[in-house]
Amino acid sequence: MSSRLRSIDWVGDKVRFIDQTKLPNELDLIETDDYKIVADAIKKLKIRGAPAIGIAAGFGIYLGVKNFEDDDKENLKVAFQNVCDVFAKTRPTAVNLFWAIERMKKVFYENLHLELVELKKKLLAEALAIQNEDIQMCRQIGLHGSKLIPDEANILTHCNTGWLATGDYGTALGIIYTAFEQGKKIKVYVDETRPLLQGARLTTWELMQRGIETILITDNMAAYLMKLGKVDCVIVGADRVALNGDTANKIGTYNLAIIARYHNIPFYVACPTSSIDFNIKTGDEIPIEERGSEEIVEIMGQRIAPAGVKTFSPAFDVTPNSLITAIVTEVGIIYPPFEENLQKIKRKIYARD
């Protein structure tokens, strides 16, 4: 356990997470050893952000088998699969979730011959490894990405990609933090990120805690901001990157990429390689989560549209690779042609595993 507050952590024999739906008004820490509470927290965005969701699934799956006492391997397999299925059904787009589930499954089946108590230890060790690796990956993303940030840069970001969304530190925000720690004077414009306001509620909160100059805008102001010459680069995170570089991220990211191209502004994606889906060729294969209408017809519980109005609420969109200047990962900065260069990363990663 670390002394530093993390959005999700392992404390004693429980998971502790920040209920991100209550920020910035309330810092509510929830401790639980019930895997169903963890799964529900992912569904309700109490735990959110692709890497944090993956970490939560690792801990949650361990919790799901922790109290299992039946030594019968067949019963154990059924129980384990059920727990994995509960997590797989929480949110469909962020591939980190499925990546973490697969890692837990691999450890489970490779160690099924062990005594139950030993098998449980292996599962906890894997969940902790997923968390620790994510923290290291974010650090590396920050170091690589900070090379793209000139001194006095004005940066625009979308949604929340900081320590709340990851094991610690962040991806796109990790780059911003690193550049700031290197002494670069930077200014960050933050899209509010409707409908759930991750930018207004979470990103501004994180950036201001670090003393970084933060300017909140509503999502529809970005093009004008660019026209005024106030944006040197855009940096966003990713929920799933296809092998050709097409990138799913929070709804509104695609708009930003289009207007950035129109204004000749570099558009960077930052993510760990755990957010790359090496099994899909293009963004057309990425499942896009649709959420309930209440998130559109209400703002923070306050109704803003007439009763009965029809809505459409995709949580993510896919930015085509042609609009992306570079993808920053823990293994380095990847430039176009993404098809070719992501294949190289795939080969490297598969050789390492």
What are the binding residues for substrate?
48-50, 91, 198, 249-250
The minimum distance between CB 102 and ligand MRU, in angstroms, equals 18
159 binds ligand MRU (CB under 6 A): yes
Which one of 171, 273, 319, 321 is in contact with ligand MRU (CB under 6 A)? 171
Give the integer Cα–Cα distance in Å for 246 and 147: 23
46 binds ligand MRU (CB under 6 A): no
250 binds ligand MRU (CB under 6 A): yes
The minimum distance between CB 160 and ligand MRU, in angstroms, equals 6
Query: Which one, 51 or 64, has the nearer CB to ligand MRU?
Result: 51
The minimum distance between CB 20 and ligand MRU, in angstroms, equals 8
94 binds ligand MRU (CB under 6 A): yes
198 binds ligand MRU (CB under 6 A): yes
Tokens of 19: 């209920």
Interface pattern 122-151 for ligand MRU (x via CB under 6 A):
------------------------------
The minimum distance between CB 45 and ligand MRU, in angstroms, equals 6
Which one of 58, 142, 145, 237 is in contact with ligand MRU (CB under 6 A)? 237
Closest alpha carbon to 333 in 116, 119, 143, 104: 143
Count of residues near ligand MRU by CB under 6 A: 18
Query: Which one, 79 or 299, has the nearer CB to ligand MRU?
Result: 299
Tokens of 272: 């760990």
Phi, psi at residue 170, to the nearest 5°?
115, 175
Query: Which one, 253 or 325, has the nearer CB to ligand MRU?
Result: 253
Range in contact with ligand MRU (rule: CB under 6 A) among 46-54, 99-107, 298-306, 335-343: 46-54
Tokens of 36: 């169903």
Which one of 131, 166, 203, 247 is in contact with ligand MRU (CB under 6 A)? 166
SS3 content of the chain, % helix, strand, coil (to 5): 45, 15, 40
Is residue 266 within 8 Å of 234, Cβ to Cβ? yes
Is residue 95 within 8 Å of 275, Cβ to Cβ? yes
Query: Which one, 21 or 32, has the nearer CB to ligand MRU?
Result: 21
Query: Which one, 22 or 106, has the nearer CB to ligand MRU?
Result: 22
Give residue for tokens 């900081």.
Answer: 162
Give residue for tokens 């006492």.
Answer: 69
With a CB cutoff of 8 Å and minimum separation 6, the contacts of 72 are none
**Which amino acids are annotated catalytic?**
239
Which one of 90, 146, 161, 244 is in contact with ligand MRU (CB under 6 A)? 161
Give the integer Cα–Cα distance in Å for 338 and 269: 12
Residue type, position 203, single letter: T
203 binds ligand MRU (CB under 6 A): no
Interface pattern 310-349 for ligand MRU (x via CB under 6 A):
-----x----------------------------------
Give residue for tokens 């176009």.
Answer: 336
Closest alpha carbon to 202 in 50, 69, 330, 26: 26
Name the pairing type of β-strands 302-303 and 316-319. Answer: unpaired
Query: Which one, 154 or 171, has the nearer CB to ligand MRU?
Result: 171
Closest alpha carbon to 123 in 208, 66, 39: 66
Structure-derived torsion over alpha carbons of residues 317, 321, 325, 326, reported in degrees to the nearest 10: 90
CA distances from 129 to 43, 163, 190, 198 (A): 23, 17, 32, 27
259: how many CB neighbours lie within 10 A of its CB? 21
The minimum distance between CB 49 and ligand MRU, in angstroms, equals 4
239 binds ligand MRU (CB under 6 A): yes
> Which residues contact ligand MRU (rule: CB under 6 A)?
45, 48-51, 94, 159, 161, 165-166, 171, 198, 237-239, 249-250, 315
